[in-house]
Structure 1
Amino acid sequence: MRWIIPLLACCLPAGLAAHPHVFVDTGIELIFDDEGRLTHVRVEWAYDDFYSLMLLEEMRLDNDMDGVLTEAEEGQLAGFDAEWVEGYNGDLVMRLGGQQLELSGPLEPTATTEQGRIVSTHLREVSGAPVIDGQVLSVMPFDEMYYTAYEVTRPVTVNGRAGCAIDKVVPDIDGQLAQMRAMLLTIDADADLEENDIPLVGEEFATEIRLTCPVS
């Protein structure tokens, strides 16, 4: 299993200890049209140093190891993380008034490097272009399996609307770990995890961005 972080390793049934394999600093741009409707979200992913190095070597990019790509290399790298299998949600869940919004697949992918780290962006269309006045828009980047750990450390911005408030809600990691630890201690080492209804923890460890805008 890939969804338990190292702090739980001491409490897991034998053979289940695991942790995130990829770490991504995330940025979000929420894009509104002239009528105040939410039409798109642009997502920025900055990959950790190790994953970036591994991928650049695999793709034979940045051969001079200076951490800077040529224009041609950027073109070759762009879209490497935008070829999604059917059903993949892009590790992003957006809800308006508690109802999940439907998002398109990735559009306009870009990629570059910053001090050796790969930084990519992609655009997604928000189905129905909703008006969010009077409601809370929730944006949560996470991998439900917790194979990839997302941290919202890069800018969160609003394009096309003024006066909107952005709140970042950081999860209670210690509390979630305590609950998970207590649950795991009740499970036999040879137990079937699916039969024991073990939850996916990615959302529990996710940072939530909440956007509110004044009524236009």
Structure 2
Amino acid sequence: MIGSFDRRHATLWQRLSGASLALLLLFLPTVIHAHPHGWIDMSMRLVFDDKGRLAALHQSWRMDPFYSLVILEELGQVDGGDSLEAGLDQLGNDIRGNLSPHDYFTELRLGDDRLQLGQVSEYTVLERGGRVEFIFRLPLAEPVTLAGETLRYQVFDPSYYLEVVHEAGDDGPLKEALVVSGRDGCQTRIVPADPDPERVLTAAQLDVDEQGESGLGRYFAETGEVTCD
């Protein structure tokens, strides 16, 4: 596969993070200017345990239609007679392994404190409506009690090669894009990103084989907020 693309694209992929590479699993057929080069539609469900503590973040990521199409076509061309389901299973294993060192692109804070995350053991990849979907349960290292404090999270690719946004319609994020499970009395909202114009310009000027400043994606990330009584 690699031999069918020019050296410029190989260099691009060598410079991508392992996480982005595992998510995309392909080489761009043409040079595309400006970041991001793809997107993920995300849904988030906060999971509380029977003691009312936040225990995990259940996330669903839907890759954009273009990358989904190419990935599905690539998996359909794999020799050996493996089924699409088997290919998606292997893809899920690769994605999980490459996202693990990056905390699964997820930052979680309670008040001023950043919360530590555990390792994903429950996950799946499937095709739904022509799009590839990665679904996983991200546990906290230790369950926490919100006790009236506001919990905030961001999910982003640090390189901003991929943009991660909550599932949305014409009027903004969908209600089901951020929900709470196992706990009553919680209020949720999704705060849109408000990047500095200079960073917008920086991202727009990045070529496909260039990498932005470390953590560039943070400035373009939406923020989910949850406050429980």
Match of 2:224 among 196, 209, 214: 209
* 1:98-152 deviation per Cα after TM superposition (whole angstroms, max 9, x unaligned): 2111112222111222221011101111112110112110011111210110011
CA contact 1:26–1:44 (8 Å) conserved in 2: yes
How high is the TM-score relative to the length of structure 2?
Answer: 0.69
In the superposition, relative to structure 1, how do residues 102 and 181 fare at CA in structure 2: closer, same or farther (>3 Å)?
Answer: closer
Q: Please give the alpha-carbon distance, in whole angstroms, between the structure 1 residues aligned to 2:202 and 2:69.
A: 37
Q: Is the 8 A contact 2:123 2:135 kept in 1?
A: yes
More helix by share: 2
What code does the residue aligned with 1:82 have?
R
Task: Say whether 1:92 aligns with 2:92.
Answer: no
**Residues 200 and 83 of structure 1: is their aligned pair in 2 closer, same or farther, counting only changes over 3 Å?**
closer
Letter in 2 for 1:144: P
CA shift, 1:21, in A, is: 2.2
- The 1:126–1:199 alpha-carbon spacing in structure 2 relative to 1, beyond 3 Å, is closer
Cα distance in 1 for partners of 2:217, 2:138 equals 21
Provide the secondary structure at the position in 1 that maps to 2:102: coil
> Distance in 2 between the 1:52 and 1:182 partners?
28
For the 8 Å contact 1:39–1:126, the answer to whether it is kept is yes
Q: Which amino acid aligns with 1:151?
A: V
- Could you tell me which runs of 5 or more consecutive residues in structure 1 were left unpaired when the two chains were aligned: 3-16, 62-68, 185-192
Q: How many residues align?
A: 180
Specify whether residues 144 and 51 from structure 1 end up closer, same or farther in structure 2 by C-alpha distance, changes over 3 A only: same
From 17, 33, 44, the counterpart of 2:60: 44
Q: Which residue of 2 aligns with 1:31?
A: 47
Structure 2 residue 194 is matched with structure 1 residue 172: yes
Listed as ranges, the matches of 1:75-86 within 5 Å are 75=89, 77-84=91-98
Alignment TM-score, normalising by the size of structure 1: 0.73
Question: 1:24, CA displacement in angstroms?
Answer: 0.2
* 1:40 Cα deviation after fit: 0.9
The separation in 2 between residues aligned to 1:36 and 1:114, in whole angstroms, is 33
Q: Distance in 2 between matches of 1:91 and 1:71?
A: 25
Specify the code of the residue in structure 1 equivalent to 2:60.
E
Runs of 4+ in 1 over 6 A off after TM superposition: 181-184
Question: What's the offset of the Cα at 1:48?
Answer: 0.5
Could you tell me how far apart the structure 2 residues matched to 1:50 and 1:210 are? 30
1:20 maps to which of 27, 36, 50: 36
> 1:96 offset after TM fit, Å?
0.7
The structure with the largest alpha-carbon Rg is: 1
Partner letter of residue 224 of structure 2? I
2:135 counterpart of 1:116:
no
Deviation at 1:183, TM superposition (A): 8.1
Aligned residue in 1 for 2:151? 137
Alpha-carbon contact 1:77-1:112 (below 8 Å) kept: no
| C-alpha contact 1:25 1:46 (8 A) present in aligned 2 | yes
- Residue deviations 1:159-203, cap 9 Å, x none? 110010001110124xx2x2336889xxxxxxxx99xxx563211
CA distance in 2, matches of 1:85, 1:94: 16
* Alignment check: 8 A CA contact 2:159 2:214 kept: no
Partners of 1:101 and 1:60 in 2: how far apart?
40
CA contact (8 A) 1:139 1:210 kept: yes
Return the alpha-carbon distance in structure 1 between the equivalents of residues 202 and 126 of structure 2: 42
Kindly report which structure 2 residues correspond to 1:125-204, keeping only aligned pairs within 5 A, or say none: 125-153=139-167, 155-173=177-195, 176=196, 178-180=197-199, 200-204=215-219
**Equivalent pair of 2:75/2:84 in contact (CA under 8 Å):** no
